[in-house]
Amino acid sequence: MMKPVRKAVFPVAGLGTRFLPATKAIPKEMLPLVDKPLLQYAVEEARAAGIEEFVFVTGRGKRAIEDHFDTDTELNRTLEARQNAEAMEAVRLTEANPGQVFYTRQQLPLGLGHAVWCARPLIGNEPFAIILPDDYVMSTVPCLQQMVEAYHRVGGNIVAVVDVPREDTKRYGILDIAEDDGTLAVIKGLVEKPKPEDAPSTLSIIGRYILQPEVFGFLDHHERGAGNEIQLTDSMAKLIGQQPFHGLRFEGKRFDCGDKVGFLEANIAHALQRPELAGKVREMLDRYC
């Protein structure tokens, strides 16, 4: 039987150097998209997809992440005394049930593959999702929910993909495609950050994955790849031919919030989707355009 996807890994140990000095004391994943941290959007996306257990791979200086998803009794009492129902509901959405949230440390910055490997004792022998909070996806149906629905149809491993300009292939994991129906692409190979002239396609993996636990067997070898890091893509590539592997062109728009301009664009786009903010934001933009 096909096992359900119940667990999600959030690799959040990075230093966020592109956003210094803001990230000197604040984890980059806690930077706000209008009024919620990026990481909270990722967690809410996972909940919408049926995820029951949340595994955060953290590093030094990430205590704010633990505090954010904890219960703040004093804050709750203050809001209740003030009868601030709107704020109480906003805070409630940050709280997890006991036994749902787990934290593990990535002591050394050895790459995404190593960060995912650090979560292996908490995943066990189950399929699992990976969400990179830097990738914010605005969509009618949450991106991971779309992936879970596809997983129930085809099984195996699924990555979310977008087309990128050929000159940008050197920044991403790129698919080598066997078949493509315009939504789901059957993958026959993966290449991490190829030169544009060597890229087998322009379909790029973004920060959403559903993987089978056998990937840990390859990550166990700690082989170094591009950038002298332990690349998740390299281990995923070794599953191809052993298990089904697909790329999903999801419905929605992806914003690269690890980039300053992408982060600003995501804030504006998200604010324009909020009825209580859209009009004022358009007025503000008109003053600068």
Burial of 213 (0-12, 13-18, 19+ CB in 10 A): middle
For the cut 80, the answer to whether the pLDDT of residue 215 exceeds it is: yes
Instruction: Give pLDDT tens digits for 223-273.
Output: 787 776 888 988 999 999 899 999 999 999 999 999 999 999 999 999 999
Question: Is the residue at 1 inside a domain?
Answer: no
Q: How many domains does the chain have?
A: 2
Domain annotation covers residue 43: yes
Per the DSSP assignment, residues forming a β-bridge with 238 are: none
Same domain for 93 and 48: yes
Residue 186 in any domain: the answer is: yes
Q: For residue 121, what is the domain's CATH number?
A: 3.90.550.10
Co-location of 28 and 103 in the same domain? yes
With a CB cutoff of 8 Å and minimum separation 6, the contacts of 246 are: 150, 154, 156, 157, 158, 159, 184, 185, 186, 187
Say yes or no: 203 and 265 in one domain: no
Residue 95 lies in a domain: yes
* Co-location of 99 and 161 in the same domain: yes
- pLDDT tens, position by position, 2-52: 899 999 999 999 888 899 999 998 999 999 999 999 999 999 999 999 999
* Residue 157 · residue 186 · CB < 8 Å: no
Q: What per-residue confidence (pLDDT) applies to 193?
A: 86
Give pLDDT tens digits for 114-142: 999 999 999 999 999 999 999 999 999 99
- Both 131 and 33 in a single domain? yes
Domain assignment of residue 72, given as a range:
7-258
| Domain match, 95 and 188 both | yes
Q: Is the pLDDT of residue 280 over 70?
A: yes
pLDDT surpasses 80 at 1: no
Residues 148 and 182 occupy one common structural domain: yes
**pTM of this prediction?**
0.92
Provide the pLDDT for residue 228: 67
- Same structural domain for residues 108 and 162? yes
pLDDT of residue 29: 94
Is 157 contained in some domain? yes
Residues 253 and 274 in one domain: no
Is the pLDDT at 183 greater than 80, yes or no? Answer: yes
Let me know if residue 244 belongs to a domain.
Answer: yes
Q: Are 172 and 196 in contact (CB under 8 A)?
A: no
**Residues 162 and 220 grouped into a single domain:** yes
| Shared domain check, 206 and 68 | yes
Q: What is the pLDDT of residues 149-167, one digit of tens each?
A: 999 999 999 999 999 999 9
For CA atoms 16, 217, 191, 43, the dihedral sign is negative
Separate counts of helices (H) and strands (E) for the chain = 11, 13
252, 121: one domain:
yes
In a domain, 2, yes or no: no
